[in-house]
Amino acid sequence: MRLRKEPIISGLVLIGLWQVASLFFPPFLFPSVLAIGRDLLAILTQGDLVVGALATSARILGGMAGAFLVGGAIGLWMGRSTTFERYIHPLLIFNQGIPALSWVVISIIWFKSTEFRIWFIILMTTLPAFAFQIHDSYRAISKDLIEMAMSFRPSKWDMVRTLIWPSILPGIMTAWKVNLGNVSRVVVVAELVGAGIGVGYELLQRQQLFDMAGAIAWTLVLVLFVVVTQGLVTLLESHFLRYRPTSERQL
């Protein structure tokens, strides 16, 4: 895979502008790039800080896995049952209108375990996206394709393996990539309340100390996790969907 130069140039320009700003503003507003780099290196090399970063990563993946399983089941059920869709679709729309902060407050009142609170918040904020994406992918399967497949009298497993799964897989991959960015914001809010470890907890400590360099460094750790994970999802998507024809955009 060829590395494009445009993102590198954009990143270098942003770093340069930040460094210039650090020359004119105090460190608690715009710390130098070197100071941010030192804090970032400390996070990636010191054992206790690495554990905090891994805790947030595990929470994100665990919450999204739960949302994928529950949301996927709901999406498929909606696709197979119009009656079920009429009842559950309004509830998913209603859920999408609930802010993440509201789920934080609700989970604190309902649950004692901090880890379960965070998992529940991620589940409730990402479940609708998985359900809608998989439902739309299932409903988009061509009727002619279904009738052709049924003419071979396949078993239910053969239908899932050869028709349903390949048809909904692109939607699943898209939902994972979209939700990763959303969850990275939600998990920080969830960790700000009650968590004793993680990126959100560390950001709260940096805010209390007016440590902007540390806050930026921890933010970059979360961004790095999202970028790497999305890259892995993209690689999996390219592997599983390699049969699809591709076209180059002509200028």
Q: What is the CATH number of the domain that holds 131?
A: 1.10.3720.10
Contact 127, 70 (CB under 8 A): yes
The pLDDT tens digits of the residues spanning 6-55 come to 778 888 888 888 889 888 888 888 888 898 899 899 888 888 888 888 98
- Asked if residue 247 belongs to a domain, the reply is no
- Asked if residue 124 belongs to a domain, the reply is yes
DSSP string, 170-196: HHHHHHHHHHHHHHHHHHHHHHHTT-S
Three-state secondary structure call for residue 203: helix
The per-residue pLDDT for 244 is 65
HSE, side-chain direction, 13 A CA sphere, residue 140: 14
How far from 93 is each of 78, 85, 87, 128, CA to CA, in Å? 14, 12, 11, 8
- Asked if residue 161 belongs to a domain, the reply is yes
- Asked if residue 108 belongs to a domain, the reply is yes
B/e letters for 54-64, b = 16+ CB within 10 Å, e = fewer, are ebbbebbeebb
The per-residue pLDDT for 250 is 42
Q: How many structural domains does the chain have?
A: 1
- The parent domain of residue 159 ranges over 54-198
Residue stretches of the chain with pLDDT short of 50: 247-251
- Asked if residue 191 belongs to a domain, the reply is yes
- Asked if residue 206 belongs to a domain, the reply is no
